């Protein structure tokens, strides 16, 4: 309540200085504009040869459920546990872009997750509360992007290097100013790698006035890193100093902007995952096992008339899920695999709607300030379907209803507050939470 009061106080006491440059760099100032992260970065050269920028989030949350890792194994024993709080720096990212001339440009992003080095001791609920040294990626920091691009014309751009995989809504729109919730949308952030970035080759461009496409060749996922809680969500992050590429995959995305203020997008992924590991098995009994991962996604965003609405639907299928589950359960304890069963199908969908109530006041519109009241619904199940003989963990299925506010004193800064109801199946206790945060996203050079 105190945080909400401070936001409203800031709305009515802040000065009336306008910022034209903010308006030029905001991803939401033009209707029918491609607002994806990659495309915004690709357009940096239109303003200057050198661009510096980034984004970051600081969050405080109170979770009204047990923090004990055994709460899913013995739900009745922990349903009356006290709440717990957390402070977090989910993502702090710095990027640099440079225009070399003749259609050549470069971009790089360095990401710090949770204020650390991507190495941590974790207590794994799917492993019965065992303490585990978790290494999400080789190295001390994450290189989220590094690519060199050649633009031939508006229709054809060739990008080579470490690139965001354009599957789903959140991967292409993961800046904290591009979603209302304090943390990234939970569904896609669970069952898919998020933010999903791989080293590969991408072709993208615009077809006519209203169409944008992207096609990407990238290394396959590692089925040994699949699990019950996140499905394939942890499989893009290599625990080694290199990314294994025994198999390859493809991803694509198509967006349409025909209706003013509305973007409609479809995206997909296909690739084999079995034997894409450091020490794969070539035993005869596995000769026909592919571990084919197929993902289909639809998403949209509407931004007009002081209203923003976003939504997505993702469905994924894994072939040979039973064989992979049994294989992973038999891996050595020292393996980076979660060593849990994995589902053949996973599902998530969600939508959020926010209205800018300051749009009704001319003094706020003059300063380009915004205050969105928003609501969000989300559903996901990382074990939506399982093969015969594999047990589905019911705690992997949940609904989330969230309501809150986003206050933008400028286009690049947002203060967020929300209450979220995480609805679980019986006998699991609902995982409700209260969270507040502050974030920025923008360029330091113009």
Phi-psi region of 402 (alpha: psi -120 to 50; beta: other; left: phi over 0): beta
Backbone angles phi, psi at 42, to 5 degrees: -65, -25
Q: How far is CA 238 from the centre of its chain?
A: 17
* Residue keyed to tokens 């802040």: 14
Tokens of 402: 């969230």
Per the prediction, the chain carries an average pLDDT of 87
pLDDT at position 35 is 63
Q: Please tell me the least confidently modeled range out of 93-97, 120-124, 136-140, 418-422.
A: 136-140
d(CA 178, CA 184) in angstroms, rounded, equals: 9
What single DSSP character describes residue 136? -
pLDDT reported for residue 54: 96
Query: CA nearest 276: which of 192, 202, 337?
Result: 337
pLDDT at residue 314 tops 70: yes
d(CA 122, CA 3): 30
* Alpha-carbon span 228 to 386, nearest angstrom: 10
For 318, how many CA atoms within 13 A lie in the half-sphere containing its CB?
Answer: 36
pLDDT tens for each residue of 335-375: 889 999 999 999 999 999 999 999 998 887 778 899 999 99
Q: What are phi and psi of 396, to 5 degrees?
A: -80, -10
**Residue 111 CA: distances (Å) to CA of 26, 54, 141, 187:** 21, 9, 6, 22
- In this structure, the chain runs to a length of 446
The CA distance from 423 to 229, in Å, is 16
Q: Which domain holds residue 383?
A: 2-443
Confidence band of 37 (pLDDT split at 50, 70, 90): low
Token pair in block for residue 407: 């206050």
Residue 203, C-beta contacts closer than 8 angstroms, at least 6 positions apart? 156, 157, 158, 159, 214, 215, 216
Report the pLDDT value the prediction gives residue 22, as an integer from 0 to 100.
Answer: 32
Q: How many CB atoms lie within 10 A of CB 29?
A: 14
The tens digit of pLDDT for each residue in 109-153 reads 999 888 766 555 555 665 555 556 555 554 357 888 999 999 999
Query: How many domains does the chain contain in total?
Result: 1
Joined tokens for residue 108: 């790089």
pLDDT over threshold 90, residue 76: yes
Distance CA 348, CA 380 (A): 4
- Per residue in 232-290, pLDDT (tens digit) is 998 988 888 888 999 999 999 999 999 999 999 999 999 999 999 988 888 999 999 99
The CA-atom distances, in angstroms, between 311 and each of 138, 151, 172, 373 are: 33, 31, 13, 17
Give CA–CA dist 136/118, Å, rounded.
6
CATH number at residue 411: 2.40.160.10
Q: Would you state the pLDDT for residue 347? A: 97
């Amino acid at each position: 309540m105190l945080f909400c009061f401070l936001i409203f106080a800031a709305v009515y006491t802040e000065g009336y200085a306008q910022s034209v440059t903010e308006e030029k760099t905001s991803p939401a100032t033009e209707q029918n504009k491609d607002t994806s992260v990659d495309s915004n970065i690709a357009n940096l050269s239109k303003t200057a040869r050198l661009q510096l920028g980034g984004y970051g989030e600081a969050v405080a949350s109170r979770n009204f459920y047990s923090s004990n890792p055994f709460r899913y194994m013995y739900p009745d024993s922990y349903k009356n546990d006290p709440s717990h709080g957390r402070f977090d720096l989910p993502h702090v990212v710095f990027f640099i872009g440079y225009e070399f001339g003749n259609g050549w440009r470069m971009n790089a992003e360095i990401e710090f997750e949770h204020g650390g080095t991507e190495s941590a001791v974790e207590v794994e609920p799917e492993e019965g509360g065992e303490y585990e040294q978790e290494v999400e990626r080789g190295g001390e920091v994450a290189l989220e992007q590094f690519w060199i691009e050649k633009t031939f014309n508006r229709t054809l751009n060739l990008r080579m290097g470490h690139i965001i995989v354009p599957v789903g809504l959140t991967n292409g729109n993961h800046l904290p100013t591009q979603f209302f919730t304090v943390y990234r949308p939970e569904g896609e952030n669970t069952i898919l790698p998020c933010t999903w970035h791989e080293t590969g080759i991408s072709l993208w461009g615009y077809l006519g006035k209203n169409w944008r496409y992207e096609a990407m060749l990238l290394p396959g996922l590692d089925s040994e890193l699949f699990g019950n809680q996140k499905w394939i969500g942890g499989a893009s992050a290599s625990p080694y100093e290199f990314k294994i590429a025994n198999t390859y995959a493809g991803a694509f995305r198509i967006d349409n902007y025909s209706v003013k203020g509305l973007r409609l997008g479809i995206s997909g992924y296909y690739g084999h995952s079995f034997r894409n590991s450091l020490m794969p098995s070539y035993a005869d009994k596995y000769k026909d096992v592919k571990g084919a991962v197929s993902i289909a996604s639809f998403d949209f965003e509407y931004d007009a008339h002081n209203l923003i609405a976003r939504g997505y639907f993702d469905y994924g299928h894994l072939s040979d899920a039973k064989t992979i589950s049994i294989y992973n359960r038999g891996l050595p304890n020292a393996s980076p695999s979660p060593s849990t069963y994995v589902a053949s199908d996973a599902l998530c969908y969600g939508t959020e709607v926010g209205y800018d109530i300051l749009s009704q006041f001319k003094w706020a519109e003059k300063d380009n300030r915004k205050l969105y009241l928003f609501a969000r619904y989300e559903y996901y199940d990382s074990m939506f379907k399982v093969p015969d003989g594999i047990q589905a963990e019911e705690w992997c299925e949940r609904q989330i209803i969230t309501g809150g506010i986003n206050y933008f004193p400028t286009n690049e800064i947002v203060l967020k507050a929300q209450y979220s109801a995480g609805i679980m199946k019986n006998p699991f206790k609902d995982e409700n939470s209260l969270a507040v945060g502050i974030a920025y996203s923008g360029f330091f050079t113009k």
